[in-house]
Amino acid sequence: MLDVRAWIACIVLTLAPACFAAWHAGSIADLLPAMAIMPAWMAAATMLTLIGVYASMVLNRVACPTQTLVRMAKSNWRRIMEAALLVALAGINMITFMWIKPLLNKLVPFWADPLLANVDKAIFLGNDPWTLLSWANVPFAGVIYHPAWFFSIAIALLVAAFAPPSPRRSAIIVTYFALWSVAAPVVHSLLPAAGPIFFEAMGYGHRFSGMEHNQETLIVANYLWDFYQSGSYGAGNGISAMPSMHVTTSSWVVIAAYALDRRWLAPAIAAWCVIFTLSIALGWHYAVDGIAGAAIAISTYLMAYRIFIFARPATPAWQSDPVPEAA
């Protein structure tokens, strides 16, 4: 079972932004469209769980995998229910940031785009990083970017949900919630930026006019811009570049794999590289957005881990939960 303190932290970190959004929104009904993401979120989690368990049994040549799966579900129903509740709460937590983003767009005017673009150019020795990554902006890149991110965090949450109880597990789970509920809105408020794809539309000039955009990217960008201009709410709307939550949460996926099950570490790193590269190449983020996001994810986990490791009674080394190593 998940540490009670971790459950309390996750619930508070979800309720706090939800209450903030409800207080500032014109109507509760304005917030409901974003909840349309939940069925897809839960369906993806269920599908990934079933595929993962079934594939594992097939690879291990388990006789009658379907019957074995049913028996496992019956004997582990409490653990499955806890995992389902955790994944559902994580989905709602992510949605609360989707409520907060359009509110921040109203409350905190954008100003940081030129600054972040200049920081990028300084880091990359006088080059805008998107010009160095134009090779990655292939026609199907937009189709890869969002699904790769979505499925990677869903898999990491499932790994965390079914992992044995430990301070590492509690810290990983609480970190996920803290990134969405605290880090993302606070950093956005300090450095409100729209991203290179909206640079010209925000009136900052033609610096990124040479960047090409594929159809999928343009569809999403137009969707976000329409909601921004109308000031209304929708599923997944709101504009925010700093920090890149795609890269921030992808960094969290790498941390989760390292801390809980290192068999997933190589795929997690590969997914991070793809998402970081495409976040720049497609124009959604400045490179510094992802660099900052990775630093935030690491520091948040380290703080959470220290809290949980120091808040428990001392455990003999031989009773500690081992971290599975890569095969």
| pLDDT average, residue stretch 2-26 | 89
Check residue 323 and give its pLDDT: 54
Q: Is residue 3 scored above 90 in pLDDT?
A: no
Query: For residues 130 and 51, which has the higher predicted lDDT (pLDDT)?
Result: 130
pLDDT in tens, 103-123: 899 899 999 999 999 999 999
Query: For residues 188 and 150, which has the higher predicted lDDT (pLDDT)?
Result: 188
Distance from C-alpha of 85 to C-alpha of 14, rounded to nearest angstrom: 13
Q: Is residue 184 scored above 90 in pLDDT?
A: yes
Distance from C-alpha of 194 to C-alpha of 284, rounded to nearest angstrom: 8
| Residues 323/259, Cβ–Cβ less than 8 Å | yes
Cis-peptide into 114, omega within 30 deg: no
Highest-scoring range by mean pLDDT, 42-51, 137-146, 229-238, 290-299 = 290-299
Q: Across the chain, what does the average pLDDT equal?
A: 87
Check residue 312 and give its pLDDT: 63
CA 186 to chain centre: 16
Q: Is residue 67 scored above 50 in pLDDT?
A: yes
Closest residue by Cα to residue 235 from 116, 95, 86, 80:
95
Q: Is residue 318 scored above 60 in pLDDT?
A: no
Query: For residues 170 and 73, which has the higher predicted lDDT (pLDDT)?
Result: 170
Distance from C-alpha of 150 to C-alpha of 32, rounded to nearest angstrom: 21
CA 318, 324, 325, 327 dihedral sign is positive
pLDDT in tens, 38-59: 888 888 888 887 787 767 777 7
Check residue 2 and give its pLDDT: 76
Closest residue by Cα to residue 144 from 286, 285, 276, 290:
276
Distance from C-alpha of 28 to C-alpha of 287, rounded to nearest angstrom: 36
Residue 321 binned pLDDT confidence (cut-offs 50, 70, 90): low
What are φ and ψ of residue 311, in 5° steps? -95, 0
By percentage, how much of the chain surpasses pLDDT 90?
A: 53
Residue 201 binned pLDDT confidence (cut-offs 50, 70, 90): very high
Counting Cβ atoms within 10 Å, is residue 79 exposed (0-12), middle (13-18) or buried (19+)? middle
CA 42, 249, 282, 137 dihedral sign is negative
Closest residue by Cα to residue 186 from 134, 243, 136, 144:
243
According to DSSP, residue 25 is labeled: S
Residue 315 binned pLDDT confidence (cut-offs 50, 70, 90): very low
Least confident of 94-108, 198-212, 304-318: 304-318
Check residue 167 and give its pLDDT: 93
Q: Is residue 316 scored above 50 in pLDDT?
A: no
Counting Cβ atoms within 10 Å, is residue 151 exposed (0-12), middle (13-18) or buried (19+)? middle
205: left (phi over 0), alpha (psi -120 to 50) or beta: left
Query: For residues 69 and 138, which has the higher predicted lDDT (pLDDT)?
Result: 138
pLDDT in tens, 71-93: 777 877 788 888 889 999 999 99
Q: Output the six-digit token pair for 71.
A: 């028996």
Residue 35 binned pLDDT confidence (cut-offs 50, 70, 90): confident
Q: Is residue 24 scored above 60 in pLDDT?
A: yes
